Amino acid sequence: MTDTALHPFDRAVALRPVEGQPGLYEGHTSQDYWNMVGPFGGITAAILLQGALRHPQLLGSPLSLTVNYASAVVAGAFQVQATPVRTNRSTQHWLLQLLQADENGEQQITTTATLVTALRRETWSQSDLPMPQAPAAGELERMTMPGKAVAWVQQYELRAVSGALPTHWDGRGDHSRSQLWLRDAQARPLDFLSLAAMSDIFYPRIWLRRATPVPAGTVSITTYFHTDLAQLAEVGTGYLLGDARGQAFSNGFFDQSAELWSEAGELLATSNQIVYYKE
């Protein structure tokens, strides 16, 4: 299959091993997932995760991924360094780094991440967080973004249950919760990479809470995976129900949490992130 025949997401997360340097990969940013001043944070998280998933020493599947956005990723080539720092019987701990060359040609770290993968064994399991009641995705209109939307939003089909972008930026927001159905705009079976990206799909909660589009950007996001390959295969190309809310807004930073469920009501992932904003 040629690169142009690949799904846009698979082109965006494609990595090539660097010969003779285990765990080092080369990639290139994708305009399909471009945000206002750099790549969509979710695609950067997926790229870093891809570095570990392609590593020959990988044990198990993703359990927890924390991504720290240290500086802007610019358009062009980059490298991903994936290092398994400790492997135990059931868990494996990773250090992931995304690097780009500066004006002097020296590689500088733009993004860091830690990842825990694990061997999952069948045990007693229960979710104490019920899936919210919501109309079926087919009963809701597909969201359209006002003005000239950023490129990455066009890669997703979003259908808001509640908490869509404010229609009036008048400073009169009174809550920060959004619920929406989501999936890839171009059909693609769900996997850990796309689940990691979708965990960052929610626009900054401060926009909804204040109904004011202040500058904002994720500083760090942690995603917990509560699923396995078999369950992901059952989801296939179906919708996920997302539920996100802000928690505390203070002195230039706020945190927001999110959950993602399958249409069958299975909790697939939860995330928490800390976000910078300014007046």
pLDDT at res. 279: 81
| pLDDT tops 50 at residue 40 | yes
User: Tokens 């909804």 sit at which residue?
Assistant: 208
User: Using one digit for the tens of pLDDT, what is the confidence trace for 90-131?
Assistant: 999 999 999 999 989 899 999 999 999 999 999 999 999 999
Q: Which of 30-44, 66-80, 134-148, 225-239 has the lowest mean pLDDT?
A: 134-148
At residue 132, does pLDDT exceed 70? yes
Q: Which of 242, 196, 159, 181 is nearest to 12 (CA)?
A: 196
Task: Return the minimum-mean-pLDDT range out of 117-126, 148-157, 201-210.
Answer: 148-157
Average pLDDT over residues 56-74: 97
Q: pTM (2 decimals)?
A: 0.96
Does the pLDDT of residue 145 top 90, yes or no? no
The strand order across the sheet containing 267-277 reads 16-17, 24-28, 77-87, 91-101, 107-118, 61-69, 216-225, 267-277, 253-262, 240-250, 178-184, 156-162
What confidence score (pLDDT) does residue 1 get?
Answer: 43
More confident residue, 4 or 99: 99
Under 8 Å between Cβ of 99 and 110: yes
Strand (E) or helix (H) holding 192 = helix 192-198
pLDDT one-digit tens code per residue, 250-268: 999 999 999 999 999 999 9
When pLDDT is averaged across residues 225-251 and rounded to a whole number, the result is: 97
Confidence (pLDDT) at 144: 83
Tokens (6 digits) for 75: 């358009």
Is the predicted pLDDT of residue 147 greater than 70, yes or no? no
Q: Is the pLDDT score of 201 beyond 80?
A: yes
**Mean pLDDT across the chain:** 95
pLDDT of residue 79: 98
Check pLDDT > 70 for residue 146: no
**Between residues 2 and 237, the one the model is more confident about:** 237
Give me the pLDDT at residue 16, please.
98
Q: Model confidence at 163, in pLDDT bands (50, 70, 90)? A: very high
Report whether pLDDT(4) > 70: no
Give the mean pLDDT of 9-29: 97
Cα–Cα distance measured from residue 13 to residue 20, given in angstroms and rounded to the nearest whole number = 21
- Domains of the chain and any CATH numbers: 3-118 (2.40.160.210), 137-277 (2.40.160.210)
Check residue 117 and give its pLDDT. Answer: 98
Distances (CA, A) of 115 to 34, 96, 166, 225: 24, 8, 35, 11
